């Protein structure tokens, strides 16, 4: 059987398993086992055991459950209420007023959560009732929330960047630092869009009914102090070199518990719910990573990645043409799979192509995350759309239409980091 036929066979097998509802981890393991058993003479059992153990026995992977646990704790705390109290007086004078709370609120929570879905749920459960009560336009209200919640994938600590770092053996600390500037770029693009929209649709915004003095603004800002301290404790310790991502994650959990206790929202029930939620999510991701690691090794034995890399090289595609093709590929794949699955499914095949085109793997990690962010707000499997649909009861296609401008703004951000890669690489190269 030729390598092309083998590739098509394994791809079809994977699609059949995934479309049949088989768990992603089991699908990855099954495809890897089929490839090795049918097309190589390698000892399947030995390779499976050593690869799964090697993928699970990683110190860098220890940061994953800790950051997830930190997000789960904060999700059950009064953080969103405190953020609204502290942020609302400052964003109210801007054109668009409280619509900016969705953007800045999501940006701040993303910096202490790392999860897109948790960001959408936490900010949405407070912002949607408050903005609806004040008669803000629903379409823009839902769009800003859906688009801004994806920042949880990019602004560190990002769970998906940890997954990418482990899967491709990149420095997680450097990936975290590389995500800061692109995350701020997206925030600026979202804010700029809301300002321009508001200036051209003044009649669709409610009248400003609250005037807050500077003294009152400063007074209310004290509610943001715990959040700022948490961000500084986690990100600052990594950026300064004081702590590794795993150490910083442990510090983050401790600070999250203290913050939750201080706000009187830490109870025995919420503690164990957060712990159980983090355990379930961490086990799912670790299992997927183990399956992806085995599939990567199995593909190496079959020679498919090398063949694809040679094929791409023979086409003599420019890096820009390759990135354009990969953008379409990732967006389509992201319509049917969650972001973590997209990353672990594709790294074994995509990375040889990326290396063949001399694309920086660190830069490529941020590129992948932005594309995956875009897939989080595209139907039928846009996770952020599901979260907002559950909060509002609106049709998922209506939520997707509201998020469309922010999907296009992510395309703009993608074009900017391709044109100016220093947006991604400057901070990690100078840390």
13 vs 423, higher pLDDT: 423
Cα distance between the two ends of the chain = 49
Model confidence at 423, pLDDT cuts 50, 70, 90, reads very high
pLDDT of residue 193 exceeding 90, the answer is yes
Q: Where are the domains of the chain?
A: 3-429
Token pair of 359 as six digits: 């694309």
∠ Cα 393 398 404 (to 5°):
130
Other CB atoms within 10 Å distance of the CB of residue 28: 29
pLDDT of residue 209 exceeding 60, the answer is no
pLDDT of residue 1 exceeding 60, the answer is no
Owner of token pair 């990100």: 235
pLDDT score at 414: 92
Mean pLDDT score across all residues of the chain: 81
pLDDT of residue 340 exceeding 80, the answer is no
Whole-Å CA distances, 314 to 51, 310, 374:
32, 6, 30
36-49: per-residue pLDDT in tens?
888 788 888 888 88
* Gap between the Cα atoms of 32 and 128, Å rounded: 45
41-99: per-residue pLDDT in tens?
888 888 888 888 877 777 767 777 887 788 788 777 777 677 777 777 777 777 877 88
Model confidence at 350, pLDDT cuts 50, 70, 90, reads confident
368 vs 205, higher pLDDT: 368
pLDDT of residue 307 exceeding 70, the answer is no
125-142: per-residue pLDDT in tens?
778 887 888 888 888 888
* Gap between the Cα atoms of 389 and 391, Å rounded: 5
5 vs 34, higher pLDDT: 34
Nearest one of 129, 106, 90 to 210, comparing CA atoms: 90
pLDDT score at 380: 61
233-277: per-residue pLDDT in tens?
877 777 777 877 778 888 888 888 888 888 788 888 889 988 998
pLDDT score at 353: 78
In this prediction, what percent of the chain has a pLDDT beyond 70? 90
* Gap between the Cα atoms of 83 and 269, Å rounded: 23
* Gap between the Cα atoms of 18 and 346, Å rounded: 14
Q: Which range, 7-16, 166-175, 341-350, is most confident? A: 166-175
Token pair of 305 as six digits: 């990645």
Nearest one of 279, 225, 299 to 39, comparing CA atoms: 299
30 vs 237, higher pLDDT: 30
* Gap between the Cα atoms of 293 and 296, Å rounded: 5
Task: Tell me which long-range contacts 384-390 makes (C-beta under 8 A, separation of at least 24).
Answer: 384/116, 384/117, 384/120, 384/146, 384/149, 384/150, 385/146, 387/117, 387/120, 387/121, 387/124, 387/149, 388/120, 388/124, 388/142, 388/145, 388/146
CB 353 within 8 A of CB 312: yes
pTM of the model: 0.75
* Gap between the Cα atoms of 344 and 31, Å rounded: 14
pLDDT of residue 10 exceeding 80, the answer is no
């Amino acid at each position: 059987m030729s390598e092309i036929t083998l590739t098509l066979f394994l791809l079809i097998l994977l699609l059949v398993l995934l479309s049949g509802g088989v768990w992603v981890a089991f699908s990855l393991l099954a495809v890897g086992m089929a490839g090795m058993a049918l097309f190589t003479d390698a000892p399947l059992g030995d390779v499976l055991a050593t690869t799964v153990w090697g993928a699970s026995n990683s110190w860098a992977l220890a940061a994953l459950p800790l950051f997830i646990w930190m997000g789960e704790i904060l999700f059950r705390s009064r953080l969103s209420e405190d953020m609204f109290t502290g942020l609302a007086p400052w964003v109210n004078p801007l054109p668009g007023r409280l619509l900016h709370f969705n953007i800045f609120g999501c940006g701040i929570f993303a910096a202490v959560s790392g999860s897109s879905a948790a960001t959408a749920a936490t900010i949405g459960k407070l912002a949607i009732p408050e903005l609806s009560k004040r008669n803000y336009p629903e379409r823009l209200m839902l769009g800003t929330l859906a688009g801004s919640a994806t920042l949880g994938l990019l602004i560190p600590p990002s769970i998906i960047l940890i997954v990418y770092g482990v899967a491709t053996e990149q420095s997680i600390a450097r990936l975290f630092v590389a995500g800061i500037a692109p995350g701020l770029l997206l925030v600026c693009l979202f804010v700029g869009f809301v300002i321009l929209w508001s200036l051209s649709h003044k009649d669709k915004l409610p009248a400003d009914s609250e005037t807050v003095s500077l003294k009152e603004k400063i007074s209310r800002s004290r509610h943001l102090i715990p959040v700022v301290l948490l961000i500084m404790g986690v990100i600052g310790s990594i950026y300064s070199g004081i702590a590794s991502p795993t150490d910083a994650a442990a510090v983050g959990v401790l600070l999250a518990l203290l913050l939750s206790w201080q706000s009187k929202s830490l109870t025995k029930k919420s503690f164990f719910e957060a712990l159980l939620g983090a355990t379930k999510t961490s086990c799912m991701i670790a299992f997927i990573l183990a399956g992806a690691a085995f599939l990567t090794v199995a593909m190496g034995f079959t020679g498919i990645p090398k063949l694809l890399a040679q094929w791409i090289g023979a086409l003599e595609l420019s890096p820009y043409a390759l990135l354009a093709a990969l953008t379409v590929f990732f967006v389509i794949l992201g319509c049917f799979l969650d972001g973590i699955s997209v990353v672990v499914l594709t790294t074994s095949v995509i990375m040889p192509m990326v290396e063949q085109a001399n694309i920086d793997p660190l830069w490529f990690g941020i590129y992948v995350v932005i594309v995956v962010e875009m897939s989080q707000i595209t139907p039928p499997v846009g996770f952020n759309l599901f979260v907002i649909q559950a909060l509002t009861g609106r049709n998922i296609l209506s939520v997707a239409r509201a998020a469309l401008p922010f999907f296009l703004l992510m395309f703009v951000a993608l074009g900017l980091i391709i044109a100016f890669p220093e947006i991604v690489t400057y901070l990690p190269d100078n840390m």
